[in-house]
Amino acid sequence: MFFQQFKVEGLGCLSYMIGCPLDGRAIVVDPKRDIDEYLQIARINKMKITGIIETHVHADHVSGAAELSYQTGAPIHLGAGSPVEYKYMPLNDGDEMVIGNARIRVLATPGHTPNSISLAITDLSRGDFVEMLLTGDLLFVGSIGRPDLAGGELLEEQIHNAYHSLNVKLADFPDYVEVYPAHGAGSLCGAGISAKPSSTLGFERKTNPFLKLDFDAFRAELTKTTPHRPINFTHIINTNIRGARLLKELPQISEYKPTTCKQFLNENRDRKLIDLREATAFGGAHIPGSLNIGLAPNSATWIGNVVEPESELLLLGNNRQEIDSAATMFRRVGYDQIKGCIIGLSSWILEAEETGFLPQITVHSLHHVINKYSNHLVLDVRNQQEWESGHIAGAEHLPLPELINQGFSRDLEQHISVICMSGYRSNIAASILKQRGYKNVYSVIGGMSTWKAAGYETVMD
């Protein structure tokens, strides 16, 4: 039996190929949107992709099922009753497929979504017993899938479903069975997911906090807080229900000159310019009104928190390779309207266009400033857990998603230093504040990790 896991860095998405080189066939489970890696691995191992399985309708990434089906002719399989608008082959509880030495049995495991499935995998060359479970978004390493994405009216039913799937449906499998989820660390489909890409049922039964609870405690844990829902999740769900557009149908990303860039942005306020450069480069000079989302593995997560997914975008990067990398990442999370790009700032500056400036302040300078000026505001945009681990005395806490969604009200002349853990989110937040008219905004280089490394005091309250 052939088995391989694929990981999308930053998003924490995990997909799989299961097949048999002797038989010459393979299936792909929960594919990412850019599919070249699957095609290459199948070709190297002399297998043809003959099936695509989605464990559920995804909320955090655009599925590659349509793209892979178009390229290979393979049918798409989902749990029976899945609310999609395209043709698929339904999978019911107990259904089996055999591909050479690989046997795949379908388990109906609702909870994350009403029609979620898991897959029990047997390597027939080694025995007739289940060796591994692909648990989709039901069971993660160290956590479970959130049950709220199907809608508030279904939350109570989904909590019951999740508890039953975890504690009854999976109860038949012994401790040695390996667990391979659809997400790892970095995913927003669950909280507290381990960085380990796989586990065993036995280890999860001993250590996963959600598998130690009776139903009342389980329900209380899942309803006590509403997990953060990025602004692109609904768009992604609707895209996956309709079926994603093929990549060949998306706009070509042509290079824009300064005049064309200005015209494009001025025609529609909802259009966005995303600057992919690192924080210090953006701080030194940038196109006014642009948003700094530095190119990094988690860029796709952050654009999903700060930019409406229907927005028409321009990307600014140092070279074409950065533009193409960002486009791949952003399309994975539903940003299909990338209209063009700008390579560097040289042409903008040479044509004497105006540039913006976002001062980058060191932790040493910040320490001096807040000791000298009592009215200087430190705005901490980390999450609640990070804040509780220690923060600067007198700082105001406003997590970045709340800053985006709920706003921030101060005198526009207020001097503000924005801080996060490393300096990445603070530049996003500071560029947003600059867009909203705040004139005296600073971003703290290195963030709280550098503040603590420098030995400066933190408080916990």
Instruction: Indicate which residues carry an active-site annotation.
Output: 420
Pairing of strands 25-29, 377-380: unpaired
Residue of 107, 111, 109, 108 whose CA lies nearest to 121 = 107
The amino acid at residue 102 is A
Q: Which two tokens stand for residue 239?
A: 């895209």
The amino acid at residue 79 is G
Sign of the four-CA dihedral 124, 125, 131, 132:
negative
Cβ 148 vs Cβ 156: under 8 Å: no
Cβ 254 vs Cβ 74: under 8 Å: no
Cβ 432 vs Cβ 404: under 8 Å: yes
CA dist 237 and 243 (Å) reads: 10
DSSP helix/strand/coil, 242: helix
Residues 6+ apart with CB under 8 A from 186: 9, 10, 11, 12, 193, 297, 298, 301
Residue of 148, 152, 121 whose CA lies nearest to 134 = 121
What are residue 41's DSSP bridge partners? none
Rounded-to-10 torsion of CA 170, 174, 178, 184:
40
What are residue 90's DSSP bridge partners? 78
Task: Provide the total of helices (H) and of strands (E) in the chain, helices listed first.
Answer: 16, 22
Question: Among all chains, which residue has been given the structure tokens 């997400």?
Answer: 183
Percent helix / strand / coil, the chain, rounded to 5: 35, 25, 45
Q: Give start and end residues of each alpha helix (H) in 73-214.
A: 155-167, 201-207
CA dist 339 and 48 (Å) reads: 35
> What are residue 196's phi and psi, to 5 degrees?
-70, 135
- Give CA angle at 197 (195, 200), nearest 5°: 110
CA 366 to chain centre: 32
Residues 6+ apart with CB under 8 A from 347: 257, 258
- DSSP readout, 128-149? SS--EEEEETTB-SSSB--S-T
